[in-house]
Amino acid sequence: MSHITYNKEWREAQQALADLFENEKPPEAQKPEKDKVAFFQFLATMYIKYIQILRKLEACYDQIVHPQKRLVLRNVLDGVLGRLLELKQEMVDLECLEYHFFDDILSDLKLTPNDVEMPIPKYFVLEQEKNLRARQQLLGQILAKMGPSEKEEKAAEVKMSLEEAIRLVQVQERARQGRLRAKFMREIREQEEKSRQDATRGAPTLDPVDAAVRIQKLWRGVMIRRKVTRLRDDEFVWLGMNPPAQFLTAKKSTAQVHALKVQDMRRVTQSMHRQEYDQALVTIKEKLRETEGPDMKETMQDQIRQWFLECRDATGKFPDYPDGEEGSAELFKQKSVAELERELKEKEEGGGKGKGGKKGKKGGKSGGKKGKDAKGKKGGKGKKGKKDDDDDEGLKMKESKFTGDIGRAMQEYESIWKLRDESDNFQQKHDSELIKEAKRVEVEREIRQQVDELMRQELQNLKVAIDKEKVRKGKKSGKKKKGKKGKKSGKKGKKGKKEKDLTPDSTIEELFEELVMNGIIKKVPKVSMADYEGEYNYLGTTLKQANLEPMPSLADVRRTVSELACLPMGSEVVHKSAPLVKSLLLAGPSGIGKKMLVHAICTETGANLFDLSATNLAGKYPGKDGLRRLMHLIFKVGRALQPSVFLIDDCDKMFKKKIPKSDTSDPKRLKKELPKAMKNVKAEDRLLLVGCSRSPWEADVKPFCSLYQRILLIPRPDYASRHLIWRRLLAKHNGIITGALDVSTLAKVTDGNTMGQIKLCCEEILTERRLAQMAKRPLTTQEFIPVIARREFVHSEEEEAFKKWYNKTPLGKKRAKAIAADEEEAQGGGKGKGKGKGKGGKKGKKK
């Protein structure tokens, strides 16, 4: 696509954002909402609109090549990302559910689920591509160094004696000969049968012309039937009842391939323009310093001298030179009316206490602090008395940490980019005028610092020469300042001492190598979040209205994992201010794709994968010291090379009451250390602990749920998801779907199978040999049935066990309480209000 298209897209996104921003008010200005359902609808609509905006902004940021536009876009993009996560958190708090259903809102807004698919910005990986490639290379080299041992292991796995090998070959060879012999025998028998029939039938009596007509008739019939089938297939495609042929294979069309190439080319142009821009920043600043610097200096000096004289004329004394950070710029700042009024008030208030300007300032500062404290106290009250507030006043959106940034970026867009004439910038390179404006301010600040030093000295000299002042003052204040600094640095030193560095002499590369050699850091298979297939649940709200608790679909799982893990982990700015997620538990039956999701998180965010599963740690870093070193290493390397993901497979074992003696992996090793270490993870550390569990009910609920902050239950796939995955997997394995293969039947009979098992079925059937026969012998439904029948099912008892366990988790309990409270309220007020609650979304019965 062209520059114009992306600019237009950006404009549309900004317009939509401006419209949506009208709803973004601070809590004090919001009108409280008493109806929970209506408030959820409001939040969900905002959330969906933000997703749409995010999708547009992400595409623009990925493809726009203008470096200065990208800077503004990045600010808006991060702001929208953060705001989206805040809204998600509000919905979770309101509904006490991790998954939400929006099908009714989508139909109101006339959107499809694809329109609101959560995008994961590509810049998460593209902007650290160099680092990631270098790390991947290092990992590859280390693994190559360790290579032989792994190969030996593999060799040991397939070890067999010579006799066994000969027997295997003999069995195969005899089977082959047997099949060949059977084929010959069948052909001989068929030939004998044919000659016997010929002998009994005698010489042919049919006229050769009649025979030819008969053959022609049959052949024409075949041809016409083929043609009709083809025409019917084409018509079905045209009517949209069947997908076009290219959709049945995983191959991309030429147009798609071309589009991807263009996108790559734009990214290359983007980096070239960025380099030019970075260079321009330096050269333009230099030029400004050379050309405009001397004039600036002179003007500033003149102004300040003038001020010295004016002050002396007015007060009879030379003034004190401003000490603030801004230096003399403070004197010439243009102030707004409100600022001036505030200053006057402060002066009036401070006037009673004493004349000292500094005192006044201090008073002002402390006043500010008090103000903050008061705010904080109010906030605290708000939290404690939240329920009361909700009951009395109604529901309101919480204060956002991102709307300020979004607002600033929007203003920048409005003032600079919205109406900018770019007719002479066809290539979309940087705008030098804008750089000059920004750099002029910087140069001015630098020159002012120099001028301030000079003028401070000059003022001192004037005071000594004319006012006969003594030189002591300066020295005193200097001493004081030093004292203060000393104290501050002392405090910092203490803070630093808290965490002992066990490996002060090793570089991060060495520690990284150690962890790779020990198999703790693993190579991540490249899996994108989009590879995690799953269809949208179109019945969520309908089921809710029927008082049934809908199960989330795999598309909901994909979206929620993206929100909880990928979006905050990918961006430093978002992670710092968005609701903090330190740990995540993925609970679900075997083969549901838990590890695949972890790999997708790492791929999408460029995170390192630390495998802390008990089976992987067995025999490594033994003893207490070993454990201390391990914890130190993973957190040190994890922080230095963030983002990092700590994976624990079968994490329930860590909190199991009884470990069977046959289990030698010591799964409780990290039980004390890990929760302690996770408590020290701050908002600026992009570290995420992900646990995978097939049987979470075996763990002690309390410590288990306190380690894993967020819990996602992954259900077995529903019909729609199975249908989708069958089609996708068959295409991925080069299978061709024809009329003989009924995908709907396959989806129906695999009810209870997980995705992993469906994948195994595909792999078992679609062997190379079978694929070679595809043209002559299309795939049929029947051949899949025996393979499916051999696969394991998720039994209803297992599913029930998951649901029951989830009800014991903190969010599950909260949800149960909320439902009970709602029911009570409905019963209490029901007599009066009757059928008033149309949507009744909160009163879910458990299925």
Ligand X SMILES: Nc1ncnc2c1ncn2[C@@H]1O[C@H](COP(=O)(O)OP(=O)(O)OP(=O)(O)O)[C@@H](O)[C@H]1O
Residue 595 binds to ligand X (criterion: CB under 6 A): yes
Q: Which residue stretches of 240-292 are H helix?
A: 254-291
Residue 529 binds to ligand X (criterion: CB under 6 A): no
Q: Would you say 78 and 574 are in contact if contact means Cβ atoms under 8 Å apart?
A: yes
Read off the DSSP letter of residue 620: S
Instruction: Take residue 260 and report the two structure tokens written for it.
Output: 């991807």
Among 217, 649, 578, 590, CA closest to 405? 578
From the CB of 172, what's the least distance to ligand X, in Å?
29
From the CB of 639, what's the least distance to ligand X, in Å?
27
Nearer of residues 126 and 743 to ligand X, judged by Cβ = 743
Which of 532, 655, 704, 805 is in the footprint of ligand X by CB under 6 A? Answer: 532
Q: Distances in Å between the alpha carbon of 788 and those of 464, 748, 780?
A: 98, 11, 13
Q: Would you say 818 and 96 are in contact if contact means Cβ atoms under 8 Å apart?
A: yes
Q: Which residues make beta-bridge pairs with 693?
A: 587
Residue 94 binds to ligand X (criterion: CB under 6 A): no
Nearer of residues 553 and 605 to ligand X, judged by Cβ = 553
Which of 596, 736, 801, 816 is in the footprint of ligand X by CB under 6 A? Answer: 596
Sheet with 687-693, side-by-side order of all strands? 521-522, 608-611, 644-649, 687-693, 583-587, 710-713
Q: Would you say 633 and 557 are in contact if contact means Cβ atoms under 8 Å apart?
A: no
Which of 447, 520, 585, 725 is in the footprint of ligand X by CB under 6 A? Answer: 725
From the CB of 759, what's the least distance to ligand X, in Å?
5
Within 10 angstroms of residue 247's Cβ, the number of other Cβ atoms is: 14
Residue 802 binds to ligand X (criterion: CB under 6 A): no
Residue 61 binds to ligand X (criterion: CB under 6 A): no
From the CB of 660, what's the least distance to ligand X, in Å?
19
Nearer of residues 402 and 784 to ligand X, judged by Cβ = 784
Q: Phi first, then psi: give them for residue 25, nearest 5 degrees.
A: -120, 155
Of 213-221, 676-684, 753-761, 815-823, the segment contacting ligand X by CB under 6 A is: 753-761
Question: Which of positions 548-567 make contact with ligand X (CB under 6 A)?
Answer: 554
Which of 287, 305, 759, 770 is in the footprint of ligand X by CB under 6 A? Answer: 759
Fill in the amino acid letter for 476.
K
Which of 432, 590, 664, 767 is in the footprint of ligand X by CB under 6 A? Answer: 590
Of 42-50, 70-78, 532-540, 800-808, the segment contacting ligand X by CB under 6 A is: 532-540
Nearer of residues 178 and 525 to ligand X, judged by Cβ = 525
Which of 74, 285, 544, 594 is in the footprint of ligand X by CB under 6 A? Answer: 594
Nearer of residues 596 and 618 to ligand X, judged by Cβ = 596
Instruction: Take residue 134 and report the two structure tokens written for it.
Output: 């270098």
- Total residues contacting ligand X by CB under 6 A comes to 17
Of 59-67, 509-517, 752-760, 831-839, the segment contacting ligand X by CB under 6 A is: 752-760
Give 259-262 contacts, CB < 8 A, sequence gap 24+: 262/1
Residue 686 binds to ligand X (criterion: CB under 6 A): no
Which of 692, 699, 746, 762 is in the footprint of ligand X by CB under 6 A? Answer: 692
From the CB of 804, what's the least distance to ligand X, in Å?
19
Read off the DSSP letter of residue 498: T
Q: Which residues make beta-bridge pairs with 648?
A: 691
Q: How far is it, in rounded angstroms, from Cα 545 to Cα 594?
A: 31
From the CB of 64, what's the least distance to ligand X, in Å?
32
Of 75-83, 451-459, 585-593, 811-819, the segment contacting ligand X by CB under 6 A is: 585-593
From the CB of 678, what's the least distance to ligand X, in Å?
22
Read off the DSSP letter of residue 838: S
Nearer of residues 80 and 725 to ligand X, judged by Cβ = 725
Nearer of residues 59 and 755 to ligand X, judged by Cβ = 755
Residues counted in the chain: 847
From the CB of 249, what's the least distance to ligand X, in Å?
17
Residue 528 binds to ligand X (criterion: CB under 6 A): no
Residue 579 binds to ligand X (criterion: CB under 6 A): no
From the CB of 593, what's the least distance to ligand X, in Å?
3
Residue 695 binds to ligand X (criterion: CB under 6 A): no
Q: Exposed e or buried b for every residue in 442-471, given b needs 16+ CB within 10 A?
A: ebbeebbeebbeebbebbbebbeeeeeeee
Work out the widest C-alpha separation in the chain, in whole angstroms.
145
Q: Would you say 603 and 707 are in contact if contact means Cβ atoms under 8 Å apart?
A: no
Q: How far is it, in rounded angstroms, from Cα 326 to Cα 306?
A: 19
Which of 591, 696, 752, 812 is in the footprint of ligand X by CB under 6 A? Answer: 591
Nearer of residues 529 and 678 to ligand X, judged by Cβ = 529
Q: Distances in Å between the alpha carbon of 176 and those of 47, 141, 142, 180, 182?
A: 63, 44, 45, 6, 10
Q: Which residues bind ligand X (CB under 6 A)?
A: 532-534, 554, 590-596, 692, 694, 725, 755-756, 759
